[in-house]
């Protein structure tokens, strides 16, 4: 499957969809084209939907298809070059990470005393999204999100696509942290039953699923998971109109009836992967 990033206009999206059709030789399998519709949001578009859409079945589209088929090699080379340029450099990211290390630790293991969660072992796409959310004011601007507001100026140290990509590349090169101890007194056995809802997206072992925009959560500190779930429950996180995935989590957090249930599921998540 070919994934194309940084498609900035509907015209380019049509061009890439047509290119995929020619490369697939009219194969009916699904392909996905990624369109960056906003700096903070990436939308997945189904290839079959694109090619069957009524507004694409016009004379102009057919002319465009013929033109793209002729120039397929040139366009493909350009798109692949853009993808390579967007890749992060962990060596450069290491220097940028020095600021992050003061709270999150040299190995991204986190530090409860500084209210810094573990970030080592997290997926690249999720780290990138959250840094962008902080940078763009989607996260860390609510008056009750004290620690989010602290994180927002830190994210500006790596402002810009290249710096963000570099520091994320370095973070993802760090070894997975050890599972955190349970600190809030939650019962992981009781929490396991509630986790069934979470597992639908985050996976049975908390490994995460990019296709569902669900990050890895296994082994995260219970105090951090607890705080974020309570933030969603109390409208501190996920209320920004551009935080579409945060909005989804508000409904999921609402399935936990009280704070005891939040502590129990946070304890279970902390134990995952042991």
Top-level CATH class of 88-175? mainly alpha
pLDDT score, position 75: 43
Q: Note whether 88 and 173 are within 8 A (CB).
A: no
Question: For the chain, what is the largest distance between any 2 Cα atoms, rounded to a whole number of angstroms?
Answer: 66
pLDDT in tens, the chain (274 residues): 344 333 344 444 444 444 444 444 443 333 333 333 333 333 333 434 344 443 443 444 444 445 444 444 444 444 444 444 468 999 999 999 999 999 999 999 999 999 999 999 999 999 999 999 999 999 999 999 999 999 999 999 999 999 999 999 999 999 998 878 899 999 999 999 999 999 999 999 999 999 999 999 999 999 999 999 999 999 999 999 999 999 999 999 999 999 999 999 999 999 997 6
pLDDT score, position 9: 43
**Start-end of CATH 1.10.760.10 domains in the chain:** 88-175, 179-274
Outline where 71-179 has alpha helix (H): 72-86, 90-104, 124-135, 146-155, 161-171
CB atoms within 10 A of CB 249: 19
CATH 1.10.760.10 for the 179-274 domain, yes or no = yes
């Amino acid at each position: 499957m070919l994934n194309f990033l940084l498609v900035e206009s509907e015209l380019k999206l049509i061009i890439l969809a047509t290119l995929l059709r020619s490369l697939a030789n009219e194969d009916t399998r699904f392909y996905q084209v990624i369109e960056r519709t906003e700096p903070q949001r990436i939308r997945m578009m189904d290839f079959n939907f694109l090619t069957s859409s009524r507004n694409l079945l016009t004379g102009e589209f057919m002319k465009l298809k013929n033109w793209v088929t002729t120039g397929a090699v040139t366009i493909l080379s350009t798109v692949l070059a853009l993808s390579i340029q967007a890749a992060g450099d962990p060596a450069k990211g290491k220097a940028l990470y020095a600021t992050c290390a003061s709270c999150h630790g040299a190995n991204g293991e986190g530090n409860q005393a500084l209210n810094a969660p573990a970030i080592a072992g997290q997926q690249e796409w999720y780290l990138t999204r959250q840094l962008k959310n902080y940078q763009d004011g989607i996260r860390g601007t609510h008056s009750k999100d004290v620690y989010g507001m602290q994180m927002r100026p830190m994210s500006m140290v790596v402002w810009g696509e290249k710096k963000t990509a570099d520091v994320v590349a370095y973070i993802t090169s760090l070894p997975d942290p050890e599972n955190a101890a349970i600190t809030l007194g939650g019962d992981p056995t009781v929490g396991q039953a509630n986790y069934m809802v979470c597992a639908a997206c985050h996976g049975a072992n908390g490994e995460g699923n990019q296709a569902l925009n669900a990050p890895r959560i296994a082994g995260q500190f219970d105090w951090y998971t607890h705080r974020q779930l309570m933030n969603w429950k109390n409208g501190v996180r996920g209320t920004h109109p551009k935080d579409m995935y945060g909005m989804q989590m508000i409904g999921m957090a609402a399935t936990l009836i009280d704070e005891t249930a939040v502590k129990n599921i946070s304890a279970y998540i902390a134990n995952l992967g042991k």
